Structure 1
């Protein structure tokens, strides 16, 4: 059923205000807000931009009386990442079991955030999941808070007090990997950083620095290379770290995509992994077991995190529909260090240690 033309959003803006700014009729705004496909893309963009500028949102109480489905919105970027693929599988499975309908919207940059959020709401999202790296976007989280949208951030290293979050302890995970490498006897360990805007990347790097310091080892500037959590950035970092006469004995990359790139560059230089170079990653995404040799990494339970996030969001949506308060919750899931061939041929398929919870 279309949104009534008299509907007023919780921010005070009306459908008529959106129509006036977009230069279209209120009925056209109603069609866009209800996901009607018989609207041109240009018109849809004008309406969603106008709605975003007003923080316009369909009245949740009115929608709840009309619509029985639970719209679980997912705001994502970096669609080629292995992390997102694993997260999507878990989110879809849990939505299927919990009666939620997963609604996806891509957001490529800060400028498109407002429009992407407006499109999610227009397409029926009652709450929004925010996986990395957007989980650390203060502007996106602020906008969602301003319009009263139930939100769950996933894999943020420093969750905001007022925003629900599902995560692991990235610092302790990276410390576990460093203790493992130091325990193997490595003293010349290099590090490939992740996206500097992503808090888990910051925590993983800080753990590397702290572990080296606690072991009484200095970190030379040439042993740290920048990365962006992408395979391509891992290639550049690996060439920087391995293109010198003096090479490290081990490289710890802040995620598996970059660690896989390090292995590829090592092979190109005719280096044997792990005989000439030990390589470790973080996340335990599918790429960890598709590269050769298989990757030693920190297992982040991405599928479980997605399922927990969907459960948490649906609980918040139901509380809101019932008129109850939505209270932020933070869930910390365990990680596990998985030792495989990239650090020790004898460790193929073995698991080093139990699950460690931060």
Structure 2
């Protein structure tokens, strides 16, 4: 049968035309359009064939009215690391690319006393199906409660579990940082510097706990002069590197809470003529593109942020992603892994 591009009388085809051609109800056509799992393959195939023959295009406004939501999922963030936000977006877009959904990105100010009011206004105006909360705002229980109150599905992203499994995607930052620092200790490093993440970030706290746990296991401590503040930005790495490497007895290794700060420390080392890794080992966190765009290539912890974005979409809107998109709640902890490159070696006295 030749494909039609119009309904009866030459008008634009409607959902009723599809239902009549496929021999099913209008409700069944709607279920196929919205990718319901509760259909036989025979019925789904008949409806999809009718849609193709008629050239039927679902009306997004009508669908939004029926759902009382727009076909949007929102990403809310207040994160100083643009690469983290970008990689998470890529993961979400990977998951929704074959759906009718669109991603709406909204930066917010976690320090504002109007945060909850601003987010409420945004969600009420945009009417997304769901919202994804990146750290550190994902750690705000009031934001999660607000989504619940508005009937907006939500997923919180964290470096440790923040909610029940159906509302949370998390990683194992504490555990993997401890493993990375144990590796430095095993190479012979004893004077190890640390560049912290920003205050108020659960990720920063988890990474610091892992660092200190590994030192404690080896009977070591972190001297105050080797504990440098940071905020996940390159400039903070420069400042930390200047402070740590100007000391009369500098560290032989430095763990940085993200790659941007590690790149800053590495730049300072180059400027001072300190050879990496022969005289100084450096480890970062994230495995961002920065890690391989500098020399030497950075040993780092790979945070699976892109995969976390895809998984967040899968648990947030599985009914919009088609059959087979649903994932088990038990799969919502995505482990980070250590990636060994060229920025780590034994300390000078062991070479």
TM-score by shorter chain over 0.5: yes
Measured in 2, the distance between the counterparts of 1:99 and 1:240 equals 51
1:296 to partner: Cα distance: 0.3
SS of the residue corresponding to residue 75 of structure 1 reads strand
Residues 240-319 of structure 1 mapped to structure 2, 5 A cutoff = 240-315=243-318
Q: Match of 1:174?
A: 177
Measured in 2, the distance between the counterparts of 1:344 and 1:93 equals 37
Residues 76-115 of structure 1 mapped to structure 2, 5 A cutoff = 76-78=77-79, 81-111=82-112, 112-114=114-116, 115=118
Contact 1:163-1:329 within 8 A present in 2 as well = no
Q: Match of 1:187?
A: 190
Q: Compared with structure 1, are the counterparts of its residues 131 and 70 closer, same or farther at alpha carbon in structure 2 (3 Å cutoff)? A: same
Q: Compared with structure 1, are the counterparts of its residues 295 and 117 closer, same or farther at alpha carbon in structure 2 (3 Å cutoff)? A: farther
1:262 to partner: Cα distance: 0.9
- How big is each residue's C-alpha offset from its partner over 1:95-133, in whole Å with a ceiling of 9 and x where there is no partner? 213432101111133325331452244224111011122
Give unmatched runs, 5+ long, in structure 1. 1-61, 319-326, 346-358
SS of the residue corresponding to residue 99 of structure 1 reads coil
SS of the residue corresponding to residue 279 of structure 1 reads strand
Q: Compared with structure 1, are the counterparts of its residues 148 and 186 closer, same or farther at alpha carbon in structure 2 (3 Å cutoff)? A: same
Contact 1:70-1:314 within 8 A present in 2 as well = no
Match of 1:206 among 198, 203, 209: 209
- How big is each residue's C-alpha offset from its partner over 1:184-237, in whole Å with a ceiling of 9 and x where there is no partner? 111111111112211121111011111111101122111111111222222222
Q: Compared with structure 1, are the counterparts of its residues 89 and 216 closer, same or farther at alpha carbon in structure 2 (3 Å cutoff)? A: same
SS of the residue corresponding to residue 297 of structure 1 reads strand
SS of the residue corresponding to residue 342 of structure 2 reads coil
Measured in 1, the distance between the counterparts of 2:274 and 2:127 equals 52
- How big is each residue's C-alpha offset from its partner over 1:222-268, in whole Å with a ceiling of 9 and x where there is no partner? 11111112222222222221121110000001111111111111112
- How big is each residue's C-alpha offset from its partner over 1:149-203, in whole Å with a ceiling of 9 and x where there is no partner? 2110112424134871112111111111111111211111111111221112111
Contact 1:296-1:343 within 8 A present in 2 as well = yes
Contact 1:98-1:311 within 8 A present in 2 as well = no
**TM-score, structure 2 length as denominator?**
0.72
Q: Compared with structure 1, are the counterparts of its residues 163 and 66 closer, same or farther at alpha carbon in structure 2 (3 Å cutoff)? A: closer
Q: Compared with structure 1, are the counterparts of its residues 245 and 151 closer, same or farther at alpha carbon in structure 2 (3 Å cutoff)? A: same
**TM-score, structure 1 length as denominator?**
0.71
Q: Compared with structure 1, are the counterparts of its residues 139 and 162 closer, same or farther at alpha carbon in structure 2 (3 Å cutoff)? A: farther
Contact 1:238-1:262 within 8 A present in 2 as well = yes
Measured in 1, the distance between the counterparts of 2:67 and 2:337 equals 45
Contact 1:69-1:101 within 8 A present in 2 as well = no
Q: Compared with structure 1, are the counterparts of its residues 252 and 174 closer, same or farther at alpha carbon in structure 2 (3 Å cutoff)? A: same
Give unmatched runs, 5+ long, in structure 2. 1-62, 322-327, 347-351
Structure with higher Rg: it is 2
Any runs of at least 4 consecutive aligned residues in structure 1 with deviations exceeding 6 A, and if so which? Answer: 327-330
